[in-house]
Amino acid sequence: MNAITPREPLDLDAMPDEAFRLHIRAWIEENYPPELRNPPKRLHWEENKVWYLKLAEKGWLCPGWPREYGGLGLSPAKQIIFTEELERWGCARCNDHGIIMLGPLVIRYGTEEQKQRFLPKILTGEHIWCQGYSEPNSGSDLASLRTEAVDMGDHYLVNGQKIWTTLAQDANWIFLLVRTDKTAKKQEGISFLLADMTSPGITVRPIVNLEMHDEFCEVFLDNVKVPKENLVGQLNKGWDMAKALLSFERIYLGSPRQSAYALARLRQLAEKMGVADDPLFAERYARHRADLEDLKALYARYVAVLKQGRPLGADVSQLKVIQSELFQRITETALEVAGENAALFGPMEGNRHLNPGALYIQARPTSIYGGTNEIQRNILAKNVLELP
């Protein structure tokens, strides 16, 4: 097998946890661009590529990938430490769809040729990926998607439209769920295709969100030719693969990081507003803190499942609901504490840690993306509790 040489020669996974943590921390502190700490918005590629490329060069871009594919081969527990350290220093989120979604999918389902073709380019930052699942009429009901790929012998001809595609304007590759069989049951006629965004027929139109930021896009596909070898996995088996990825997405979205970040900001805000010692505030704060610790405890149990190499069950949905709603509640408390300052679009007194209005707005879509919280509750009620 032609393995991809890891850029990090050390087996970091073998280090004791605390030594590992300090090792990561020291490197981050030395190498992270200071002007990018705690950015108020999701950064575009032009802004964050310095950091992406630094991680890439160090060989630390893909902590979760196996070492033979250029990753660090870290256990889930170590990956969490890694993430905690990135968050501790306020590191920006990279254009990471290739790292956290497409890469693992190709590793699991791709052919050897596809692994060789795509994985190294994620590792070098040559390919930046975006996720083309949702469509205007297929959001919660994703399986009803209508973007169609027709077999033309030597290629697929793709027509349709994707929407809410995060950072599509930065990406040069898109992974798509497309309909390849219109006669089958809706979940059974879907395939997983990879498309070069520079192909003729692909148009990207950014959409401004409530932060007044162009973070997601519409992607139009008009007679786009996609080579046959860009099909991942079997024809008409795309839905099962996408579903397998979703449980990873849910544990990622269930990570306590957003709530922990918001709680730290709430503490700073309370001090600034002079209410940190107010008993009413203290009670509310104590509740958020305890909620956060409980979330961490629950999260750790799912991490332990991963650690044993077992699959996550459908009940991982609860992690995403609990996390997003805690994050939202904390930002709601912050609005109240901030009083009139809550109305501000920008930070208070130019201090970007004190921007309760923006944090509140950022917390809103967490109960929508990655499957809305209503859909997660449906899953819990039907698939986990098996209610009629």
Using CB distances below 5 to 8 A depending on partner kind, what does residue 147 bind out of ligand FAD, another protein, none? none
Closest contact distance (angstroms) between CB of 27 and another protein is 36
Binding residues for ligand FAD, rule CB under 6 A, total: 18
For residue 216, state whether it binds ligand FAD (rule: CB under 6 A): yes
Q: How far apart are CA 232 and CA 68, in angstroms?
A: 20
Q: Which is nearer to ligand FAD, 134 or 259 (CB)?
A: 134
For residue 166, state whether it binds ligand FAD (rule: CB under 6 A): yes
Q: How far apart are CA 218 and CA 230, in angstroms?
A: 22
The separation between CA 31 and the C-alpha centre of its own chain, rounded to angstroms, equals 23
Q: Which is nearer to ligand FAD, 167 or 263 (CB)?
A: 167
By CB under 8 A, name the binding residues for another protein. 134, 137-141, 144, 163-164, 207-210, 212, 216, 273, 280, 332, 335-336, 338-346, 357, 360-361, 364-365, 367-369, 372-374, 377-378
The token duo for 60 is 């630390």
For residue 140, state whether it binds ligand FAD (rule: CB under 6 A): yes
Using CB distances below 5 to 8 A depending on partner kind, what does residue 166 bind out of another protein, ligand FAD, none? ligand FAD
For residue 144, state whether it binds ligand FAD (rule: CB under 6 A): no
Count of CA atoms in the C-beta half-sphere (13 A) of 220: 7
User: Interface with ligand FAD by CB under 6 A: which range of 71-79, 225-233, 351-359, 362-370?
Assistant: 362-370
Using CB distances below 5 to 8 A depending on partner kind, what does residue 344 bind out of ligand FAD, another protein, none? another protein
Name beta bridge partners: 135.
138
Closest contact distance (angstroms) between CB of 144 and another protein is 8
Could you list the active site residues? 249
The string of DSSP codes covering 189-201 is GEEEEEEETTSTT
The string of DSSP codes covering 127-190 is --EEEE--BTTBSSSGGG---EEEE-SSEEEEEEEEEEEETGGG-SEEEEEEE--SSS-GGGGE
Q: Which is nearer to ligand FAD, 20 or 216 (CB)?
A: 216
Contact 60, 32 (CB under 8 A): no
Closest contact distance (angstroms) between CB of 366 and another protein is 10
* Sign, Cα dihedral of 77, 78, 79, 82: positive
User: Interface with ligand FAD by CB under 6 A: which range of 87-95, 194-202, 335-343, 361-369?
Assistant: 361-369
Q: How far apart are CA 45 and CA 93, in angstroms?
A: 10
Using CB distances below 5 to 8 A depending on partner kind, what does residue 367 bind out of another protein, ligand FAD, none? another protein
For residue 378, state whether it binds ligand FAD (rule: CB under 6 A): yes
The token duo for 157 is 């001809």
Using CB distances below 5 to 8 A depending on partner kind, what does residue 5 bind out of another protein, ligand FAD, none? none
User: 3-state secondary structure string, 29-86?
Assistant: HHHCCHHHCCCCCCCCHHHHHHHHHHHHHHCCCCCCCCCCECCCCCCHHHHHHHHHHH
Q: Which is nearer to ligand FAD, 34 or 388 (CB)?
A: 388
| Binders of ligand FAD in range 16-75 (CB under 6 A) | none
β-pairing verdict for 216-227 and 202-207: antiparallel
Which residues sit at the interface with ligand FAD, rule CB under 6 A? 131-134, 139-140, 164-166, 216, 365, 368-369, 371-372, 374-375, 378
